[in-house]
Structure 1
């Protein structure tokens, strides 16, 4: 009987010191696509991982309405992302047939329903079930008591099991922050930024305070000065006009009509935020009012009608849409300003804002469909659309997750800016990073940070600037000090630099690289910042990841590995490798000088492929 208190004290001591913590090679906070690909990348290298997801569903935004994949150049990002896209397409082929409308509407797998994205990601994880544990309803809070740091390493973290209400402790050799917010990195005290840098810091287009028509130049009020503003969030809605699958929009319990009334005059006149408005006169707006009063839709160039006035829609299979914020509108599904505290707030505040945002968006749709001060035929057109009955069936057919476009941006060993995504000379590439872990491409794209202001041509910070296919260096996800933490989602960059990295294909690719890097760090017993880059790249290339994009060489091509390797080494600076072209003497001479090798070459006969193979295979 006297032994019992002693045993109890020992058990308590073991529990406090983490002896009963669950242990994995890799602990991943966040079941986003970036987190999922991190786990898959590690699993393929034989490493175990646990994904700790706060909600009851994995998949992040693709499973919550972002079904129109944000990528400007298809083929720029491949690897596990390409596998995901391939599985999406195959799902529609298997279910509906190769010649079906659904397969056509899935656009080779780049457009998909939210439920299909979740299903495919679950299946990809199931294929590695022996290595990957997925735990849902696990919440990590960025508090000191939830992380144990010793000698610049994370030893363990504690999360809240939201179902049992009890804390749980997890130990890992490597940790990964795959949250949109960056909560784990913050708890690890990694320096981070929120808000906008001014243009003077990195000389980036669109930096700081910017007002510009959509598609037009910067306008009055633009100062390019930095501030603490965070780009707006919304929900990516899944709407349908199929009556058999349509759920009508109801007036929300919390409804403030005054939030939407400025839209009334916009609809009647056709006023919008596009560059077309530069040629629209006051007389044209008044004439359009009369035109609409006669039962016609708007005739102002660039104006849209019905539900499209408040939501930009991209077609998905089965008569559904990815309904995002309408870029041409002063009022849409974004809710600027009110989200600013999100990145650094706790989940109590975040959950309250999420409900506020849902009520705001439901109210917006209800207003567009029912308010009697809007034209009757506008309301009728808007009422053709409702929520999809077979999506989010456990959440009133409304997305479960806020579209957090930007949370904390950590300061890693490489800080990504607009200069990394834009060419210094028109037509040429941006800088090729020899530590690249993926290629990617999307515009420099940010949503508004402030609500409508009188006299402005658009909302502050709502912008898009062109970029070119770029490379992403390994250092964007590697902190400078913590030895066993990777940041594949809240990566290192400026507001404008982050605005192109923040797309799900890029996050998936960075996640894949994070999983491979974690495995290498474990096997080589090195800090994550000392992972052998060439070995990491070799593994990624073997997994058909594109690290530097070429227009004429694809991952399935026999020469893919050679072109990727030599491209990273600087031998192929152009957009095409032109392997079948006859090599010219000047180019061969440059390659010889760069490599220090004597190359076999017959003028007029030897192809570029033959010369490059010598560079690739010779020690």
Structure 2
């Protein structure tokens, strides 16, 4: 009997040990995130001969690149190299197959891109694509490189990061899995690992005085896109009567002075993929919780003569669109995301649900409400969600457009002075070129009693600019084995340019190369030999300087 009890006890101990070991994982590099940067970081790590594990909160890989943003913000495509260019080459190869063109002939598509042709035959790249094609390219990367991906694994932000001597030892997820590594890469849009590791960061807009900038902070009266009220529109429930109260989504607080900082962040939205093909269209139903009064400002905009409803229905292949915000009242849910960066997972889910309801309600309103001009309603009724995109989510994108969340306060901070060429950048690990592009951060009441939007900026750099390696790493005393290629160290307005998906892929790859070299040399990421890193990046066809044609 004693022998049996001993055997049972031994088995129980062995079972518990095995169960514990089953939740323990180890690799040279641990990448946290499921974005495009996460995938390129993982691929680069494997190609450099190191082991890697991707711990992804997301079930679908690719972030916004596979989440609806198919009309790529390329900027100057000549400075997009490495794995990013390989991604767009693979997109080209997909659309070179006749069977990819299911709903439309290739010749009928046209070739419109954002500042570049959609299909570049000479370079064999394609910059405009459907979400499911982008996701398949990322999954091809996973399969070909035998990447280990743990999906739907969320970092325990309270106690899941173990550090010793300014180094992360391991991270734990809410499901109890522990991942131990030598170097960690935070490739999330939110910067959750960075924050949980005790690295300092900023949320909101800095005052211009902080970094000697011109375009940061509050920018009331600056209209560089068309996303503002061009005519006088009353913000009150009863037009012209302040006592009646404000309409929904108008900020009651008095606006600050231009150039001052605040805690506001640019608006989020879903980049909806829409279809006008009756065979591939899910109509917009009246959403639960729909309230037409929430769109009264838009009714007044139409009443004032606005006619630009369809100006950002950008065409992607197979009779679909990448539909973005356009005009004074559109898909951007202005002012409804301020607490998102530091919010709990549950609060973030609530914010995301509110954005989804707002946009679905907006689409239903545009198709059905009598306050919308009849010609707009008739055209809108042709559009719906595509049946063959986001199939597990009813055609709705699985990724909200987190245009900006936390931004690290790293070893160096990229500012508008670097992006606009006023200040030289040392130790380039990639390049940006898109305009300093910030969407509206608030909707407020002007002193004359009319409504206006604020925060929409678009300043174009004269030439592409370098992004410093020092902006990818924290201060050494805070963490010595973490790289942050997405929530990197940049001011609000500089991040407005850097935050483009091709750049995230570039920086993900460069971060991985640095991680490998830090491991090989057994040093902190801050001490990586730049000359050696540069040689590797150039070998991998990254673009580090701009040569004017």
Cα deviation per residue 1:4-36 (whole Å; 9 max; x = unaligned)?
Answer: 6578668868988x8962101111110100111
Residue 435 (structure 2) aligns with: 443
Residue 456 (structure 2) aligns with: 462
Compute the displacement of 1:463 (Å). Answer: 1.5
Residue 533 (structure 1) aligns with: 530
Cα deviation per residue 1:140-191 (whole Å; 9 max; x = unaligned)?
Answer: 1321x1111111111111113xxxxx31111111111000000000110000
Residue 472 (structure 1) aligns with: 467
Residue 298 (structure 1) aligns with: none
CA distance in 1, matches of 2:356, 2:299: 21
Compute the displacement of 1:121 (Å). Answer: 1.1
Q: Which structure has the highest helix share of the two?
A: 1
CA distance in 1, matches of 2:16, 2:281: 55
Aligned residues: 500
Name structure 1 gaps, 5 residues minimum: 161-165, 272-302, 425-429, 553-619
Classify 1:370/1:103 alpha carbon distance in 2 versus 1 (closer, same or farther; 3 Å).
closer
Provide the secondary structure at the position in 1 that maps to 2:512: helix
Provide the secondary structure at the position in 2 that maps to 1:510: helix
Provide the secondary structure at the position in 2 that maps to 1:315: strand
Cα deviation per residue 1:107-138 (whole Å; 9 max; x = unaligned)?
Answer: 33110100010001111222211xx2112111
Residue 573 (structure 1) aligns with: none
CA distance in 2, matches of 1:371, 1:215: 27
CA distance in 2, matches of 1:457, 1:473: 40
Residue 308 (structure 2) aligns with: 304
CA distance in 2, matches of 1:242, 1:20: 47
Higher RCO (Cα < 8 Å, 6 or more apart) = 2
8 Å Cα contact 1:180/1:406 also seen in 2: yes
Residue 514 (structure 1) aligns with: 511
Classify 1:538/1:369 alpha carbon distance in 2 versus 1 (closer, same or farther; 3 Å).
same
Corresponding residue to 1:134 among 145, 149, 152:
149
Classify 1:331/1:96 alpha carbon distance in 2 versus 1 (closer, same or farther; 3 Å).
same
Classify 1:319/1:152 alpha carbon distance in 2 versus 1 (closer, same or farther; 3 Å).
same
Compute the displacement of 1:401 (Å). Answer: 1.1
1:157 aligns with 2:143: no
Residue 283 (structure 2) aligns with: 248
Cα deviation per residue 1:517-543 (whole Å; 9 max; x = unaligned)?
Answer: 111111111111111111111111111
RMSD: 2.5
1:380 aligns with 2:378: yes
Provide the secondary structure at the position in 2 that maps to 1:50: strand
Classify 1:111/1:29 alpha carbon distance in 2 versus 1 (closer, same or farther; 3 Å).
same
- Structure 1 residues 31-110: aligned runs within 5 Å: 31-96=34-99, 100-101=106-107, 104=111, 106-108=118-120, 109-110=126-127
CA distance in 2, matches of 1:406, 1:368: 28
CA distance in 1, matches of 2:496, 2:323: 20
Residue 185 (structure 1) aligns with: 194
Residue 180 (structure 2) aligns with: 171
Residue 575 (structure 1) aligns with: none
Provide the secondary structure at the position in 1 that maps to 2:361: helix
Classify 1:332/1:188 alpha carbon distance in 2 versus 1 (closer, same or farther; 3 Å).
same
Compute the displacement of 1:384 (Å). Answer: 2.1
Classify 1:532/1:379 alpha carbon distance in 2 versus 1 (closer, same or farther; 3 Å).
same
Classify 1:23/1:185 alpha carbon distance in 2 versus 1 (closer, same or farther; 3 Å).
same
Classify 1:125/1:22 alpha carbon distance in 2 versus 1 (closer, same or farther; 3 Å).
same
Classify 1:539/1:95 alpha carbon distance in 2 versus 1 (closer, same or farther; 3 Å).
farther
Cα deviation per residue 1:182-201 (whole Å; 9 max; x = unaligned)?
Answer: 00001100000001101111
CA distance in 1, matches of 2:12, 2:227: 70
Name structure 2 gaps, 5 residues minimum: 113-117, 121-125, 231-254
8 Å Cα contact 1:32/1:59 also seen in 2: yes
Residue 194 (structure 1) aligns with: 203
Classify 1:198/1:97 alpha carbon distance in 2 versus 1 (closer, same or farther; 3 Å).
closer
Larger radius of gyration: 1
- Structure 1 residues 59-458: aligned runs within 5 Å: 59-96=62-99, 100-101=106-107, 104=111, 106-108=118-120, 109-129=126-146, 132-143=147-158, 145-160=159-174, 166-211=175-220, 212-215=222-225, 223-271=258-306, 303-305=307-309, 307-308=310-311, 312-326=312-326, 329-424=327-422, 431=424, 433-451=425-443, 453=445, 458=452
Classify 1:399/1:466 alpha carbon distance in 2 versus 1 (closer, same or farther; 3 Å).
same
8 Å Cα contact 1:93/1:103 also seen in 2: no
CA distance in 2, matches of 1:217, 1:55: 31
Compute the displacement of 1:268 (Å). Answer: 2.6
Cα deviation per residue 1:570-611 (whole Å; 9 max; x = unaligned)?
Answer: xxxxxxxxxxxxxxxxxxxxxxxxxxxxxxxxxxxxxxxxxx
CA distance in 2, matches of 1:87, 1:456: 49
Classify 1:373/1:23 alpha carbon distance in 2 versus 1 (closer, same or farther; 3 Å).
same
**What is the TM-score when the length of structure 2 is the normalising length?**
0.86
**What is the TM-score when the length of structure 1 is the normalising length?**
0.77
Classify 1:22/1:243 alpha carbon distance in 2 versus 1 (closer, same or farther; 3 Å).
same
CA distance in 1, matches of 2:452, 2:40: 37
